[in-house]
Amino acid sequence: MQDELIIEHRRRSRRFFMQLGTAGVLAMRSHPLFATDDAESASLESVIAGMETWLTQQDKFRDVSRGNPLPHQLPEEKKKAVGLTRETWGLEVVSDEDNPTRLRKPLTVADGTALDFNTLVELGKTHAVRFAKVMSCLNLGCPLGTGIWEGVPLRTVLWMTQPVKDLRRVFYYGYHNDDAKQMFRSSLSVNRILEDPAGLPPVILCYKLNGQWLTPERGGPVRMVVPEAYGFKSIKWLSHVVLSNIAHANDTYAEQNNDVDSPIKTFCSFFPAGTSCRANAPIPLTGWAQIGLAGLSKVQIWVQNRSETLPEGDPYFKTAPWQDAEILGPPQDLGPPQEWGGGLPGGKIDNPTLGFDPDGRPIEWPMRLTKAHWAILHPGLPAGEYTIRCRTIDQNQMAQPMPRPFRKSGHASIQSLRMTVE
Ligand SMILES: Nc1nc2c(c(=O)[nH]1)N[C@H]1C(S)=C(S)[C@@H](COP(=O)(O)O)O[C@H]1N2
Ligand SMILES: [Mo]
């Protein structure tokens, strides 16, 4: 995983420093990130074209799935038996026995009315949507991967059950080895399913990622994908959707002290490069940013000499002399269409994909709910010990980690690195 990141990052950073001209190339040569790279000059373009990029291949996502055994590692025969193959999958959409919703047509295995995979894909022919999203865990400081997720809006299937009244909450879970203790449940207000907040894609029953069938490891045959939410809302190996009249969230993740209504936050991180550099020589600094629901307007860095004291009464360093870094442009500015990466068939963003124009160009950049890369060429520092920090400013002009500085609302801390200049 770290190697993949390094390759992707090196490729993008290299292009950035090339754009800066000779100074940038010199800086790049002295940068630890590029030290192992010999085929630098002539074959640069071809190396760039061949490398992994903005989107993550399905099998390169970081996996934090639970289950013993892990559902995606069950033998094929067992997967067939429990509905974890496209041929045998079935989704029940039923009323909550404890807090019933009145609905006319529940979808159940017993009645033979459960939604099967072919019917879902058939619905997709007229209803499917695609959108880009970073999968990110509320508790982790590094996104798990970015993809183009495709599926049928959950509301399309919800309406098939003909709900009449007493419907406030929808909760859902997946295959969990038929062991109640292993159930991992998530929930949404019915409103979020029926109506999309301005500019957000719908909640989907997802069966494709980057143009390919969703793999068992990513939650296939079908997982929920909730665009603006952390990963725990996007339940894998989905088997049950329960329509309920409870008025509150009942997510498994709430039991672990998490704020289960918190949308994905904006934050950034340095790319792990060397921790020492030469005195008075340009220092290239690079990294990635996760772009939360509040958007991204700036990435900033602050280089602090360790002999200086920290600003007083300013725990979030709001008064520090932050400097703006450059947010790198969309991948198609960097070269041919396969620059998007992720194993997209034909290397292109299909039309239609929400957030992209018919030619597959992003309508806005940086794009909310995805990732961006950034870079800055620091002119150089005298010898000494330093702490370098990076932070983001969202589109509401809120600097990280505000406005919700609580770790359990989603990771958004200011990252810091120690650096020695000698
Ligand atoms: N059925 C099920 N779905 C699940 C989980 C789980 O343990 N079981 N983990 C969730 C959490 S906490 C995260 S962060 C994401 C991770 O998605 P990924 O493995 O595709 O990266 O899956 C979510 N969906
Ligand atoms: Mo998670």
236 lines ligand 1 (CB under 6 A): yes
Q: What is the pLDDT of residue 322?
A: 97
Q: What is the pLDDT of residue 11?
A: 59
- Class of residue 147 by CB neighbours under 10 A (exposed 0-12, middle 13-18, buried 19+): buried
Q: What is the number of the ligand 1 atom nearest to the C-alpha of 139? A: 14
Q: What is the number of the ligand 1 atom nearest to the C-alpha of 66? A: 7
What ligand has the least distance to the C-alpha of 220? 1
Distance 235 CA to ligand 1 centre (A): 6
Return the residue whose CA atom lies nearest to atom 19 of ligand 1: 63
Q: What is the pLDDT of residue 37?
A: 44
Q: What is the number of the ligand 1 atom nearest to the C-alpha of 176? A: 1
In the block, tokens 């207000």 appear at 189
135 lines ligand 1 (CB under 6 A): yes
Distance 54 CA to ligand 2 centre (A): 21
Q: Measured between alpha carbons, how far is 39 from 350 in angstroms, rounded to an integer?
A: 33
Return the residue whose CA atom lies nearest to atom 15 of ligand 1: 231
What ligand has the least distance to the C-alpha of 224? 1
Measured at the CA of 303, the angle between CA 300 and CA 304, to 5 degrees, comes to 135
Q: Measured between alpha carbons, how far is 213 from 86 in angstroms, rounded to an integer?
A: 9
Mutational pocket test of ligand 1: of 232, 238, 239, 240, the residue with most ligand atoms within 8 Å of the beta carbon: 232
CB 218 within 8 A of CB 61: yes
Closest CA to 79 of 209, 177, 151, 213: 177
Q: What is the pLDDT of residue 131?
A: 98
Domains in the chain (CATH in brackets) are 59-256 (3.90.420.10), 265-329+366-421 (2.60.40.650)
pLDDT tens, N- to C-terminus, the chain (422 residues): 445 555 555 555 666 565 555 445 545 544 545 544 443 333 333 333 333 479 999 999 998 989 999 999 999 999 999 999 999 999 999 999 999 999 999 999 999 999 999 999 999 999 999 999 999 999 999 899 999 999 999 999 999 999 999 999 999 999 999 999 999 999 999 999 999 999 999 999 999 999 999 999 999 999 999 999 999 999 999 999 999 999 999 999 999 999 999 999 999 998 876 678 899 988 888 889 999 999 999 999 999 999 999 889 999 999 999 999 999 888 876 655 557 889 999 888 999 999 999 999 999 999 999 999 888 888 899 999 999 999 999 999 999 999 999 999 999 999 999 999 99
184 lines ligand 1 (CB under 6 A): yes
| Residues in CB range of 238: below 8 A, 6 or more apart | 91, 172, 173, 174, 205, 219, 222, 223, 224
Q: What is the pLDDT of residue 337?
A: 53
Closest CA to 170 of 92, 68, 260, 244: 244
Q: Measured between alpha carbons, how far is 88 from 205 in angstroms, rounded to an integer?
A: 16
137 lines ligand 1 (CB under 6 A): yes
Q: Measured between alpha carbons, how far is 283 from 280 in angstroms, rounded to an integer?
A: 9
Q: What is the pLDDT of residue 72?
A: 96
Return the residue whose CA atom lies nearest to atom 7 of ligand 1: 66
Q: What is the pLDDT of residue 47?
A: 30
| Residues in CB range of 72: below 8 A, 6 or more apart | 65, 84, 215, 216, 217, 219, 220, 236, 237
Q: Which amino acid is at 181?
A: K
Query: Can you give the pTM of this predicted structure?
Result: 0.90
What ligand has the least distance to the C-alpha of 231? 1
231 lines ligand 1 (CB under 6 A): yes
Q: Measured between alpha carbons, how far is 418 from 390 in angstroms, rounded to an integer?
A: 12
Lookup: tokens for 341: 């990466």
Distance 227 CA to ligand 2 centre (A): 14
Closest CA to 171 of 186, 150, 182: 186
